[in-house]
Amino acid sequence: MKYKSVFDIIGPIMIGPSSSHTAGAARIGRVARHLFGRKPEFAKISFYGSFAKTYRGHGTDVAIVGGILDYDTFDTRIVDALTIAKQEGIEVSMTEEDAVTDHPNTARVIIGDKNGQIEVVGISIGGGKIEITELNGFSLRLSGNHPALLIVHNDKYGAIAGVANILAKHEINIGHMEVSRKEKGKEALMVIEIDQNADEVIINELNSLPIVQQVVKIHD
């Protein structure tokens, strides 16, 4: 495996003790928060593998809740995240799962309120790096390290071209792109990591496409 910088090896600045179990967990929680788009009223967190065995001792519990509170990995408030979440009226529950997953540091996060919820599965791959591998039942691969667009759309021809044309018109470069669907011809999810944040003009144009149901952006 090749590393792009020294930070890929030693990990980010963070509240300890472990980059995989703390910084990675915080980032999983924060991506879930950004995807949900607002403060949730509840958070149901399931830990698998190594996370399930050590989440209390390694601070994975406070880290992932800190992320859900939208705290970055270096935010000192993370150590008090469980208390702060309770004070803010967020009901948090955590379970240890026995199921065997593809990666030992896996967490499933369900956050929501009376208006809706999302379900996110994320893995911490080391050095504070993560991948989001599932969103509301769709398989995907999202690093959370770059601005991204998640576009729910009808699984029809021309969907990718329509989105790509709008991004090209606004000179938005695509770094990574993939499409997932549960069933042919039904609902699909387009995940696009881009080199710069997309503004509301672009989001509105994407939402205006007949095939698009919803656009969610993750910013830097």
What pLDDT is stored for residue 57 in this prediction? 77
Q: According to the CATH classification, is domain 148-218 in 2.60.40.1180?
A: no
What pLDDT is stored for residue 6 in this prediction? 32
Give the residue ranges of the chain where pLDDT is below 50.
Answer: 1-14, 16
Spatial contact of 7 and 127, defined as CB atoms under 8 Å apart: yes
Dihedral sign, CA of 13, 15, 17, 19? negative
What pLDDT is stored for residue 126 in this prediction? 77
pLDDT 10s digits, 162-218: 999 999 999 999 999 999 988 888 999 999 999 999 999 999 999 999 999 989 888
Q: Strands 42-48 and 105-113, how do they pair?
A: antiparallel
CATH number of 13-139: 3.30.1330.90
**Bridge partners, 48 (sequence order):** 106
What pLDDT is stored for residue 13 in this prediction? 46
> The pTM is what?
0.79
Sequence ranges of the domains in the chain: 13-139, 148-218
**Strand, coil or helix: what is 104?**
coil
What pLDDT is stored for residue 161 in this prediction? 95
Strand (E) or helix (H) holding 45: strand 42-48
List, in order, residues 6 or more apart from 165 with CB less than 8 Å away: none
